[in-house]
Structure 1
Amino acid sequence: MAGAPQIGGAPAVVLQARDLPEAGPAFTEATVLPGRGMMLLQARLRLPSGEVVDALHAPPLDEAARELAGGADDFAGNRAFAFGGALLIPYANRIRGRDVQGEREIEALIDGRPARLPRNWGGKAPGAAQYAMHGLILDAAVPFEAQESRVRGRLAAGDFGGRWPGKADLDFEYRLEGGALVLRIDVRNVGAEPLPLGVGWHPYFQLPSGDRRQARLRVAADLRTEVNDYDEVLPTGRLLPTEGTPYDFGAREGLALGDLYLDDCFTALRREAGEVVVELRDPAASVGVRIRTSTPQVKAVQVYAPPGQPFVVVEPQFNLAEPYADIWPAGVDTGMAQLQPGENLSYEVRLEAFAVGT
């Protein structure tokens, strides 16, 4: 870490794998930014050919330090989810509320309790809705300790600067093991009231070939949330079946992305031996990435994949967008967990690389 750029007041941490398989695809290195909410900036991936490439869409470390230095376009830390892999806590996705006049805030009801959240994102069209996006730790500085292939951090988040009903302690861990990259987050309710909680991760997976059209996505999900448009990307409250549609990515080897625009939330996930499994295959580069989680609270996978870009964002998360809105029919589980005082919850995602045929 000596000489590493300071980002958010803390140095970047570069992890090196110690127990790699002798050959084949594997994650060899990871760069974590404790000063920006423990986001993953980059991971290095060994291809079947032996070449090592960047696994995530992200700028080099020095450039990332400049982009994450703050400023008008980084309000509430939202540059952290423009590349790399931000951690989304205590909610993922979008929350709308009443604009607070003269402030970049909204007032929203969270589990029936009032909260004032940063209004840090929204549609780009004139008059488009503005809202809170992707949690409250995007620019948090997390105390940490690092070893060669592992880094741990702990954040006494409390009530997230007075913005959230409930109080939390957060423990983070990234580790490289056996060619895989593992993220684990442990949350404990340290308050006297129930803690509403959503957790997610926002990694931009780079396609080594750069050929997005032939890349294949596998997400075994029965439903996706309908959105009003792809500018605001706000749910209408309707859950649409995926079977037989262009959004049916459940086949064993997935479905080619072609020119389909995606900024869609998939739910009613079909688990395999208790796990949610998402795969992104790049046949032109003979490699794929498998995203696995056995965390029972993961109810949704958001996928962002704009045509013409060499990346696909896969976000395993607890909650749908607008989880407390009155748009949802009775009985729909929008995914937010609730921790009772003293209760713990863990979120773990494992990234694996594998060879694929051309």
Structure 2
Amino acid sequence: MAAALDIVTLRAEAPADRPGFVEARILPGRGMMLLQARLRLPSGEVVDGLFAPEDPAAEFGGADDFAGNKAFAFGGAVLVPYANRIRGEPIGDAREIEAVVDGRRVRLPRNWGGKAAGAEQYAMHGLILDRAVPYEQPTPGRLAGRLDAGDFGGRWPGQLAFDLEWGLEAGVLTLAIRAHNTGDEAVPLGVGFHPYMALPSGDRRQARLRLPARMRTEVNDYDEVLPTGRLLPTAGGPYDFSDGRALGELYLDDCFTDLVRTGGQVTVEVEDPAAGVGYRFTSTSPHVKAVQVYAPPDKAFVVVEPQFNLADPFGGVWDSGVDTGIARLEPGQSLTYDCQLTAFAVGNRTRG
């Protein structure tokens, strides 16, 4: 079993003629989260590709780490059995809510919410943020773990197990999650990945985002960040990143959906022109229906979250005809989430 701060390091060579990842540091004791991914530039310089503290041990275990919250404050958390927010009714003084998930009542940790007085609190980013995953490292560039989650201690309807695998080869970092329904009833499922991509230049205003999506979910405000149930077209507006555009002073904590696929895959790019480097996310999973982007103007990172589901996917704000992205596994069924992360030189791209 993994201890909370066991760090497993993956290493591999990267092509010399383009940026590539040469190291990834994983925390199996924190739900197989990615702590850091180091990137080698064609100049030979090695930079940190993710925003993360120098001393992760100092971050975990305090009051702010309730239900594993610190796992999605930096690095790259793995999110199951749901990504994003789930609303419900607070349970007394307990840090829990009672939520309705696929028509069944469950108790979820009330681990996030708005900061303003009276703001709603809710469940956020799944149930493995502080879970230890048994693992093995069969090669220097591969890490595999198996989590028999069951019903997450009574917090989720149905029984699930997950095979999680990180790979690093030829400068490319990959995450694969295979979910299995091990019970005798159908089970709902959302999966996501939450990486803080560092901007080596430190200048977020000139960073560029390319995200082909036709719709964005409207939120009530950027404190609670709760969906109103309206899907707004992106075309021609400030949230139209289909062809790539600079972020400037635009605040982002937005969920994009109706994604445009090319060759059967979703592709999102973040560029840091001042540093001459960019990051590309690709997923071939047909279940990835949304990409949440978090990018405050005063921070030197962009968080890109490819995920199955919209925020509050079981909530009453959504019309019955809206696909909120939750997958459903019948007994014995399995499905796979995948995300591939590559780097490229801005202005002289080598596309894979």
The TM-score normalised by the length of structure 2 is: 0.97
Q: How many Å separate the matches in 2 of 1:55 and 1:193?
A: 41
Query: CA deviation digits over 1:124-169, x for unaligned, max 9?
Result: 0000000000000000000000131111011110101110001111
Of 286, 309, 313, which residue of structure 1 is paired with 2:276? 286
Change (3 A) 1:7 1:206: farther
Letter in structure 2 aligned against 1:39: M
Residues 78-97 of structure 1 correspond to what in structure 2 (within 5 A)?
Answer: 78-97=69-88
Question: Which piece of structure 1 moves more, 7-16 or 121-130?
Answer: 7-16
Q: 1:296 aligns to what SS in structure 2?
A: coil
**Distance across 2 between alignment mates of 1:309 and 1:352:** 22
Structure 1 residue 111: deviation in Å? 0.6
Give, as a single letter, the amino acid of the residue that structure 1 aligns with 2:48.
D
Q: Which runs of 5+ in 2 are unaligned?
A: none
Instruction: Give the conservation status (yes or no) of the 8 Å contact 1:56–1:84.
Output: yes
After TM superposition, the structure 1 = structure 2 runs for residues 141-290 of structure 1, keeping only pairs within 5 Å, are: 141-146=132-137, 147-251=139-243, 254-290=244-280
Contact 2:16 2:42 in 1 (8 A): no
Matched, 1:11 2:6: yes
1:73 Cα offset (Å): 1.0
Q: Look up the SS of the partner of 1:136 in the other structure.
A: coil
- Give the structure-1-normalised TM-score: 0.95
1:41 aligns with 2:31: no
**Is the 1:153–1:171 contact (alpha carbons within 8 Å) kept by the matching residues of 2?**
yes
Residue in 1 aligned with 2:25? Answer: 31
Instruction: State the match for 1:3 in structure 2.
Output: none
Native 8 Å contact 2:290 2:306 kept in 1: yes
Counterpart of 1:131 in structure 2 is: 122
Partner amino acid, structure 1, of 2:47: V
Match of 1:349, SS state, is: strand
- What secondary structure does 2:67 align onto? helix
1:277-331 CA-partner distances (Å, limit 9, x unpaired): 0000111111111000010000000000000110000000000001011111231
Distance in 1 (CA, whole Å) between partners of 2:57 and 2:25 is 13
Is the partner of 1:75 in helix, strand or coil? Answer: helix
Alignment match of 1:104 (pick from 95, 105, 124): 95
Letter in 1 for 2:57: A
Change (3 A) 1:190 1:266: same
2:2, 2:132 within 8 Å by CA — same for their partners in 1? Answer: no
User: SS in structure 1 opposite 2:314?
Assistant: coil
The offset of 1:100, in angstroms, is 0.5
Q: For residue 56 of structure 2, what is the amino acid of its counterpart?
A: A
Query: What SS class does the counterpart of residue 115 from structure 1 fall into?
Result: strand
Q: Which amino acid aligns with 2:119?
A: A
Aligned twin of 1:307:
297
Match of 2:333 among 343, 355, 358: 343
- Retained in 2: the 8 A contact 1:7–1:65? no
Report the secondary structure of 2:69's partner residue: helix
> CA shift at 1:46, angstroms?
1.2
CA–CA distance in structure 1, aligned partners of residues 140 and 93 of structure 2: 47
Among 324, 328, 331, the alignment partner of 1:334 is 324
Residue number in structure 2 paired with 1:52: 46
The answer on whether the counterparts of 1:262 and 1:304 sit within 8 Å (CA) in structure 2 is yes
Distance, in Å, in 1 between the alignment partners of 2:237 and 2:2 is: 43
- Give the equivalent residue in structure 2 for 1:295: 285
CA drift of 1:10 comes to: 5.3
CA contact (8 A) 1:48 1:287 kept: no
Give the conservation status (yes or no) of the 8 Å contact 2:5–2:57. Answer: no
Q: Which residue of 1 aligns with 2:16?
A: 22
Q: Secondary structure at the match of 1:65?
A: helix
One-letter amino acid matched to 1:294: T
Distance of 1:208 and 1:190 partners within structure 2 = 43
> How much has 1:51 moved relative to structure 2?
1.0
Write the deviation string for residues 56-95 of structure 1: whole angstroms up to 9, x where unpaired: 00012xx101212x12111110110000000010000000
Change (3 A) 1:160 1:170: same
Determine if the alignment matches structure 1 residue 318 to structure 2 residue 308.
yes
In the aligned structure 2, how far is the partner of 1:259 from the partner of 1:167? 44
- Offset from partner CA, 1:152-199 (integer Å, 9 cap, x none): 011110101110001111111101112100000010000111110000
Is contact 1:275-1:292 (8 Å) kept?
yes
Greater shift, 126-135 or 321-330, is seen at 321-330
Residues 267 and 280 in structure 2, CA contact (< 8 A), matched pair in contact too = yes
